Amino acid sequence: MAAKNKYAEHTEEPVKGSNAPSGHVEGNALLVDAHGNIRRLPVPSSNPNDPLNWRPWQKWAVIVTCCWFSIMGLALIGGLGPILGIFFQLYGPQGYGPSEIAFLLTLPSLCVGLGNFIILPVALAYGRRPVFLISTVVLLAATICSAAQNSYDGHLASRVMQGIATGASESLLPLMLTEVTFLHERGRVFGLYWTVQNVLSSTMGLTSSYEAAALGWRWYYWVFAILVGAGLILAFLFGFETRFQRPVRGDEIDVPLKSYAQMLKPWGSSHKTPGQIMWLSLLRMAQSMTSPAILFTVLASSITLACVVDVSLTYDAVLQQYGWDPKDIGLINLGGIIGGLLGAAYCTLLGEPFIIWMARRNHGIHKPEHRLIVLMPVAILGFSMLILYGFMATAAFEGGGSYWGILL
């Protein structure tokens, strides 16, 4: 009974010193009520057009569409590793050094991050759907250009545009997923989002070396152009606008439900002062870097991505030292597929139930810090495997070791 009293006494306070709506709370949330029931946060409005009130198929349509774009974009950016040797042979005789050719893989990865600073502010000002559609069109056009290029400079320029467009997968799409899900659903939905990214992009990377060997390197891009084109159709049909100004209090009466045809409109009403919104969003991004929690998250994500890029740049040469045929290099992505599936099982079967358990144990209050406990085992495992890769990569050039360490 004492525990129930503690549940009941908890109230969510607005952020101190902030002019944000009173419905906003700082980090913590009362996720479990006094009766042990999971609360639906954010609290949906009575407006039938509120994304939180959408039918399940509409929410899942947005989720699947976001997953499709992220898979194609990130597979395009990071999947060049197995066939990078082809470009050393192609552009090396033209006078381009190894570091310049490696830009085809590294520079687009950098531009994914830079694209975030373009795509997110524009989406906040003009809406999610139009920016999502434009990003998909740019990704499709850049992929077609990559397939048709005959020069290194043109190839690199189109790869840069691919990276900028793919920035939506790290900024806009997570925002859209957040806007159609409740707090207790996000662990599962984002787990699915990252898992299908890892598993399916690794699967496509697995086939890339065989495609290039059988059909030529251009078909690496043509296959993606077809798939991104299918993604554009999905985005138009199911990438609904998720921006919604939820009232702090009060009900909206007699608001008509939008028809499916109305939801297909490529654009909606922009913010009254879009320029100010974009400027303020960039300013707040800079201010957020003063938060230790956000700084930690940014550094952790950046270091992880840098390690993935470094491995992608080196495993071609390393595996050939172990006697692998160039066309078989893509098989290293089997490790990513297995790891992605195990990661999904960990997050779904252990991670999310643990978060709910921690909230109940903490008198119903969910704290973002609870997820750090879930991350600890995989962080230690990832660090250990990175060290193992380094030892096995070094051993490959010294006549020892085993490629099983690389796969792990």
Q: Which domains does the chain have, with CATH numbers?
A: 2-10+25-245+252-407 (1.20.1250.20)
Q: Tens digit of pLDDT for each residue in 116-163?
A: 999 999 999 999 999 999 999 999 999 999 999 999 999 999 999 999
pLDDT at residue 86 tops 70: yes
pLDDT at residue 250 tops 70: no
Residues 211-240: what's their mean pLDDT? 96
Alpha helices in 2-127 (DSSP H): 2-9, 56-78, 84-91, 98-126
Q: What is the pLDDT of residue 14?
A: 45
Confidence band of 18 (pLDDT split at 50, 70, 90): very low
Give pTM, 2 decimals.
Answer: 0.82
Q: What is the pLDDT of residue 405?
A: 59
- Cα atoms in the 13 Å half-sphere on the side-chain side of 366: 24
DSSP string, 93-149: GGT--HHHHHHHHHHHHHHHHHHHHHHHHHHHHH-HHHHHHHHHHHHHHHHHHHHH-
Q: Using only the alpha carbons of the chain, give its radius of gyration.
A: 23
The span from the CA of 340 to the CA of 61, in Å, is 22
Contact 85, 312 (CB under 8 A): no
Burial string for 1-10 (b: 16+ CB within 10 Å, else e) reads eeeeeebeeb
Question: Rounded to 5 degrees, what are φ and ψ at 250?
Answer: 95, 160
What is the SS3 assignment for 340?
helix
Q: Which residues contact 315 (CB under 8 A, 6 or more apart)?
A: 81, 329, 332, 393, 406
Q: What is the pLDDT of residue 404?
A: 62
Residues 311-338: what's their mean pLDDT? 83
Write out the two tokens for 58: 């509409």
* Mean of pLDDT over the chain: 85
Paired strand residues for 32: 38
Write out the two tokens for 346: 């960990």
The span from the CA of 294 to the CA of 302, in Å, is 12
Instruction: Please count the helices (runs of H) and the strands (runs of E) in the chain.
Output: 16, 2
Q: What is the pLDDT of residue 240?
A: 97
